[in-house]
Each structure stands twice: as C-alpha cells, then as structure tokens.
Amino acid sequence: MLNEIKQIYESNASISIPKWKSMDKNELIIRASTMKNGPERDSYVSAIMLKYWNKIGRFYSRCKLVATPEDVHSWLTMAVLYALDNQPWNNPNSSIYGDTNGPDKVINRVMECRRITFYQQLNRYNRKINSAILSLDSLTEDYKDMVMPGMNDSTAVEFLDMVYNRFYKKDYVMAFVIDAVMNLGYRNSEEDFKKFVSHIKNMDDKYKLYFCEEYNIKQEDMAKAMVWVKDVSYSEMNRRVQYSLIKLKDMLRE
C-alpha cells in the first residue's frame, strides 16, 4: 500500500517541482508554508513527504512489534502538516528562530512525539483489556506512569526551547532528561531509570555534536556541562534524574 502512495507522491511532486530531488528539504518546507491550499502546495507536500520517506523505515524498525508502516506514515504526515501550519522557526521567541535547519527539527520532534503518544495509548489500551473491571483505581494507574501527561505536537516543539533554556540556566540534568525522554522513551520502570542515568553519565563526543546541533548549543558550553556531569557521583545523579522526571511531569500538567 505504501509503495502505491509513494508513487502518487512522486507523480504529484513532479507536476510543479520537476527538480525537487535536488532541493533542500528545509527550503521545500519553508516555501510550502507560505502557500495557500491548492495544487502547487500539494506538490510541495508530496516532495516533502518523499524527502522524509526513509524515516518511515527507520521509525518502523524501532517499533515494528506494535506499529505498522502505515502508522509511521501517518506520524510523518501529521508532523509535516504541523510544521507547515505552525512554522515555529518564524517565532522570534523560539530557540530555532532563524535556524536554517529549524523546519527539519520540527518534523523530527513531532514524529518522536507521535511515536511516544502511540505507545502511551497502546499501553493504556492493553491495561484496560487485561483488566476484568475498569475501576477508578485502574484509571489512576493508567495515567500515573505517563512521563508526559500533556504531550502533544506543540509540546514536542516546545521541548526544543525548554532544553535550550534549561541548559543555559545550568539545569543540565533537566535539559538532558528532556532530550532523553524524546529519544529513548520512558515507562517509569527501574530499567528505564537506570538507562537514563547511564546515558547521561556516559555522554560522548558523538552525543555532544548531536546535542549542540539539535538545540543550538555552543560546543564549548556543552564541553563544560559534560565535565560537570562526569564530576557528579552516580548516587547524586540518580537523585537529580528522579527529581527532573517528577518536575517534568508537573511542568507538562500546567
């Protein structure tokens, strides 16, 4: 089914943008965001979908036990439409304002959001069908383990600003926890908690480059933060990560 959809995208994209393959995806997104609904905008949306087509396979490989390629395609569609309709890279108050890769960052973040909320909804559903009686107590349990109770597409994009602001307030652990939640996921389990702490304590140069580019952090500032992290004991880091996860839940409920 997706192969047929891809062929439609390819045909549609070529109508108005014969050289779309050589265009930068950020340029395609910015141009499409200025257009009214119509055939030309549809062509640009098709080209954008094709530019991100490889993400369907990548995301599917991460969650193929519970999701289908069609599910992932819908996440990508929603991410592209959110970017075009909201254009956070044009907001002077955003950390990605003026960022040439801003549109790409938005789509990546919203796709991660869609993946996470998909898991949350699936987990709640599985708990319900495995319970003989759906009581108020079970409903409470449904929501107690959600690290992001107010998660939506807008929140996912706001995380870019949250990470930047927390980092430069020297709340390094919170900044790294927010990023980890988006990329590693979190299910309120002891295993995931240990994974988070280990991830933060063992950041390497590859992660440093990713983090700086993703959140517009200066490399020299990130280097200082990594030195600080290494100097923090594991017991203290456990406490700080736990506090940050609790605080993040509260922030998203506001």
Banded model confidence at residue 138, pLDDT cuts 50, 70, 90: very low
Q: Give the DSSP H/E element, type plus range, for residue 123.
A: helix 102-129
E-only strand ranges, the chain: none
Largest CA distance in the chain: 60
In sequence order, which residues have a C-beta less than 8 Å from that of residue 38 and are 6 or more positions away? none
Q: What is the pLDDT of residues 12-37, one digit of tens each?
A: 999 999 999 999 999 999 999 999 98
The whole-model pTM stands at 0.67
**pLDDT exceeds 70 at position 247:** yes
d(CA 226, CA 224): 5
The alpha carbon torsion through 188, 75, 157, 48 (nearest 10 deg) reads 150
**pLDDT exceeds 50 at position 85:** yes
- The interaxial angle of helices 53-63 and 102-129, nearest 10 deg, is 30
- Phi/psi-derived region of residue 252, left when phi > 0, alpha when psi is between -120 and 50, beta in every other case: alpha
Cβ–Cβ under 8 Å, residues 173 and 200: yes
Class of residue 233 by CB neighbours under 10 A (exposed 0-12, middle 13-18, buried 19+): exposed
Banded model confidence at residue 181, pLDDT cuts 50, 70, 90: confident
d(CA 165, CA 148): 19
Residue-level pLDDT at 73? 93
Cβ–Cβ under 8 Å, residues 96 and 30: no
Give the 3-state DSSP-derived string for 153-178, with helices as H, strands as E and coil as C: HHHHHHHHHHHHHHHHCCCHHHHHHH
Q: Among 136-140, 213-217, 221-225, 250-254, which stretch is predicted with the lowest mean pLDDT? A: 136-140
Residue-level pLDDT at 155? 63
d(CA 188, CA 73): 28
Q: What is the pLDDT of residues 142-161, one digit of tens each?
A: 333 444 445 566 666 777 88
**pLDDT exceeds 60 at position 180:** yes
d(CA 41, CA 43): 5
For the chain, domain boundaries = 52-253
Banded model confidence at residue 120, pLDDT cuts 50, 70, 90: low
Question: What tokens appear for 163 in the block?
Answer: 């990470």
Give the Cβ contact number of residue 213 at 10 Å: 13
